[in-house]
Amino acid sequence: MNLDQWLTKRTFHHSAFWDRRWLAEEKARQGLTISLCLPAYNEEKTIGKEIVVYKSELHDRYGVVDEIAVIDSGSTDRTREIAASFGAQVYLAAEHLPQYEVHRGKGENLWKALYLLRGDIIVYVDADITNTHPRFVYGLLGPLIQDPEVHYVKAFYDRPLASSQGIRPTGGGRVTEILIRPLFSLFYPELTGIIQPLSGEYAGRRSILEQIPFPVGYGVETAMLIDIYGQLGLNGFAQTDLDVRVHRNQETPALGRMAFGVLRTFFARLTRDQKAQLHQELPTIMRQFTVAEGDFDHVEHVIEEVERPPMIEIPEYRQKYHPTPEPMVEV
């Protein structure tokens, strides 16, 4: 399947999967369990709404999703309390697998979700969506339930920005357009078919997610795409149009730091895949300037982009999900 064929065959609209009764029946027929993971850090404004809507529409009414969990990075607001009050499982990431050091970041939460949640399919949805709707989940699940060849589904959408003045119609996607898309065009041309490679919503089969490393920070989305592509090719992917996703705007300096983290992840894969050679180790310091009352302040941000190994390499995980049968003892 070439890129054009893939775009035609594997690009969906969420409305194709609106029939949650069918999704639940087909899921049961295939013997699948499905987990919904919301990685969170200080999301008290939106987490309650997300839990209520997803629990009602995907768990209570239809049983499409078997468990809903919030993996929290150590929120200092009421995120965990609110999520628990509406019936979500709540995990503080640092309390699990602590023997492997503690890191903080979205990728860390996604990685630990593989250990903590039991689903054959795991749906990851950011906890900061303001226009919460069940399509953010069933739109991603649909291709996986419909087609066994699909192992990973990525979201794309319009991205209006929420501001104090209401909703602005366009925005976002800046890092994608000026960084990711040029890099993919240069080094992984087939991945340019992914319309929004940095979207925070995706779903995958445990069988592939456990095989890939997880950067704990900004690079996790980019790494997932490249590493799953390395194992399955474009054929393992699908993508779904989720219409409009309203989110908070990020300031340009924050996007700069994000781009730095993504670049470190990207270069690590370029060298690993022998697509480029670096003659020195990349620095971990991102330098930015801030302007205050006419003065320039030089700010240094340490962005290490630690990577977690594939979960399948963690003994505790193997014991939980792939226990080795006890050897037969001859008497």
List interacting residues with other proteins (CB under 8 A).
44-46, 48-49, 51-53, 55-57, 60-61, 78, 81-82, 85-87, 130-133, 162, 166-167, 246
The span from the CA of 245 to the CA of 202, in Å, is 14
- Which lies closer to other proteins via its Cβ, residue 87 or residue 182? 87
Burial of 160 (0-12, 13-18, 19+ CB in 10 A): buried
Q: Which is nearer to other proteins, 20 or 264 (CB)?
A: 20
Nearest-approach distance from CB 164 to other proteins, in angstroms? 9
Give phi and psi for 71, each to the nearest 5: -105, 115
Nearer CB in complex with other proteins: 16/52: 52
Give min distance, CB of 94 to other proteins, in A.
Answer: 24
Nearer to other proteins among residue 131 and residue 235 (C-beta): 131
Task: State which residue, 81 or 95, has the beta carbon closest to other proteins.
Answer: 81
Q: Are 162 and 246 in contact (CB under 8 A)?
A: yes
- Look at residues 128, 127, 91, 126 and name the one whose alpha carbon lies nearest to residue 112: 91
Nearest residue to 249 via CA among 182, 170, 157: 170
Burial of 107 by CB count in 10 Å (0-12 exposed, 13-18 middle, 19+ buried)?
A: buried
Q: How far is the CB of 81 from other proteins (least distance, A)?
A: 7
Nearer to other proteins, 81 or 101 (CB): 81
Non-local (6+) Cβ contacts of 19 within 8 A are none
The two tokens of residue 210 are 């456990």
The nearest distance, CB 28 to other proteins, in angstroms, is: 19
Within a 10 A sphere around the Cβ of 284, how many other Cβ atoms?
A: 15
30 or 163: CB nearest other proteins: 163
Residue 178: which of 263, 250, 249, 239 has the closest Cα? Answer: 263
Q: How far is the CB of 248 from other proteins (least distance, A)?
A: 11
Whole-number minimum distance, CB 51 to other proteins, in Å? 8
Contact between 296 and 285 under an 8 Å Cβ cutoff? The reply is no
Nearer to other proteins, 78 or 174 (CB): 78
What separation, in Å, do the N-terminal and C-terminal C-alpha atoms of the chain show?
55
Please, are residues 238 and 156 in contact by the beta-carbon 8 Å criterion? Answer: no
Kindly state the smallest distance separating residue 157's Cβ from other proteins, in Å.
Answer: 16
**Least distance to other proteins, CB of residue 171, Å:** 15
